[in-house]
Amino acid sequence: MTVPVLLVRDDREYLVEPGEEMGTDLGVLEVPDDVEPGATLETHLGNEFQVRRLRGPDLFHHFERTGAPMVPRDIGLVIGETGISRGDRVLDTGTGTGVLSALMARAGASVVSYERDPEFADVARENMKLGGVADAVDVRTGDLTEEVDSLEPSSFDVLTLDTGDAPSVVAHAPELLVDGGYVAVYSPFIESTREVVETAREVDLSNVWTRETIQREMQFDDRGTRPSTAPVGHTGYLTIARNE
């Protein structure tokens, strides 16, 4: 599979695949099949663009959104707390815009991700192509809670859940996960978080904890240093549990 690259010039930024032809207001760009990051490309009107490797945070700007995507911070917390890495098999729901799936794939995981809304699933599949991870993320249209029985037991290393019916999936975590596997659940509301925690305890997952993350941006100016008064953005309670 070809790996997409970014073409950047001042405020213009395009995500393209090698071999593609890209029309811009500064002229047409022919992207060679063997284009390399660090190279310079010229449009037919002689305007230069820099070729850049795609990085995870760039996906937030280039993916088509079907809702508010999970922020880089929260994706990082999921990756850090579950140790997502090469060779991991991840079961995810709901896909949404797909940034979590894409970033886990970019860290080496293969991901099966369920999205109930067929149009959202189509957008997510396009996003996986854009992100160069279509071969590593299998976006399935459907409701994971109904498909749970059809999945092979002990075939996943990590479950990542960002959906209202997370508790009913958590109930199946011990069958779905390998020994030592992790569950990570984002829940915006405290009541649903409580249900997740209670279910995790009932099915004997271990090391169950829930954290809320608050961030303060610091402001450094001539008068001094202080926390910004900007919104700190609650995105949800993160619950982690382990199958052991």
Q: Is 96 exposed, middle or buried (0-12, 13-18, 19+ CB in 10 A)?
A: buried
> CA-CA distance, 182 to 157, in Å (whole number)?
7
CB atoms within 10 A of CB 182: 26
Cβ distance to its own copies smaller for residue 118 or 188: 188
Residue 143, token pair as written in the block: 């409701």
> CA-CA distance, 90 to 203, in Å (whole number)?
20
The correct pick among 18, 24, 27, 72 for binding its own copies (CB under 8 A) is: 72
The correct pick among 27, 129, 194, 203 for binding its own copies (CB under 8 A) is: 194
Q: How far is the CB of 127 from its own copies (least distance, A)?
A: 15
> CA-CA distance, 169 to 140, in Å (whole number)?
16
**214 touches its own copies (CB under 8 A):** yes
Site string for its own copies, 117-146 (x = CB under 8 A): ------------------------------
Nearest partner of 36 among 18, 23, 49, 10, judged by Cα: 18
**171 touches its own copies (CB under 8 A):** no
The correct pick among 15, 112, 197, 241 for binding its own copies (CB under 8 A) is: 197
Within 36-55, the residues that bind its own copies by CB under 8 A are 37-38, 50, 52-53, 55
Cβ distance to its own copies smaller for residue 22 or 39: 39
